[in-house]
């Protein structure tokens, strides 16, 4: 049986090559991570800006920003999809708003226990003249623990829907 004999020079060379390779891999991974972080920071800032636009009722701009996020990396984020749906509602694109709100609910079924979501969805359905479903969402919302302002808004909208249905 023959022994495999490696000289000290070869052994040292192999260790150096291995160390240099590891260092190269670490540096490459770090740089790639930095680029990825920059992308996430940019998208996070874009989301925050879109939310600000929503609070200012600037739906057109918010729709553009949120559509990019939904069509990109955040297509499975119920929060981003929910906000996109609300931006569509502000621009009076109610069918798209309903589609997005249902998609958010599909991703996160627990949204039906979120009072704000239920009231907002009920309002969007009412604006789309789907009074039957709007009434259901608002009634379920009123069963939840809602802040007073949200509760009074939901009750008022429910009264308006019931008036319309009687006509």
State yes or no: pLDDT of 36 exceeds 80. Answer: no
Helical packing angle, 8-55 and 59-71, nearest 10°: 150
Instruction: Give the architecture-level CATH label for domain 11-107.
Output: Alpha Horseshoe (1.25)
Q: Say yes or no to pLDDT of 1 above 60.
A: no
pLDDT 10s digits, 54-77: 999 999 999 999 999 999 888 899
pLDDT at position 39 is: 62
Please report the pLDDT score of residue 24 as a whole number. 85
Name the residue ranges covered by the structural domains of the chain: 11-107, 109-167
Tell me the per-residue pLDDT of 87-137, one tens digit each, with 9 for 90 and over: 999 999 999 999 999 999 999 999 999 999 999 999 999 999 999 999 999
């Amino acid at each position: 049986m023959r022994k495999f004999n490696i000289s000290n020079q070869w052994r040292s060379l192999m260790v150096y090559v291995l160390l240099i390779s590891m260092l190269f891999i670490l540096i490459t991974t770090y740089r790639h991570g930095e680029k990825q972080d920059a992308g996430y920071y940019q998208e996070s800032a874009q989301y925050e800006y879109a939310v600000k636009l929503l609070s200012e009722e600037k739906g057109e701009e918010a729709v553009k920003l949120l559509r990019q996020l939904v069509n990109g990396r955040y297509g499975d984020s119920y929060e981003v999809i929910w906000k996109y749906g609300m931006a569509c509602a502000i621009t009076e694109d109610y069918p798209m708003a309903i589609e997005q709100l249902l998609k958010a609910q599909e991703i996160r079924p627990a949204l039906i226990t979120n009072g704000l979501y239920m009231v907002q969805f009920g309002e969007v359905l009412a604006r789309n003249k789907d009074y039957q479903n709007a009434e259901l969402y608002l009634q379920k919302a009123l069963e939840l623990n809602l802040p007073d302002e949200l509760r009074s808004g939901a009750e008022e909208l429910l009264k308006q829907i019931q008036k319309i249905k009687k006509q």
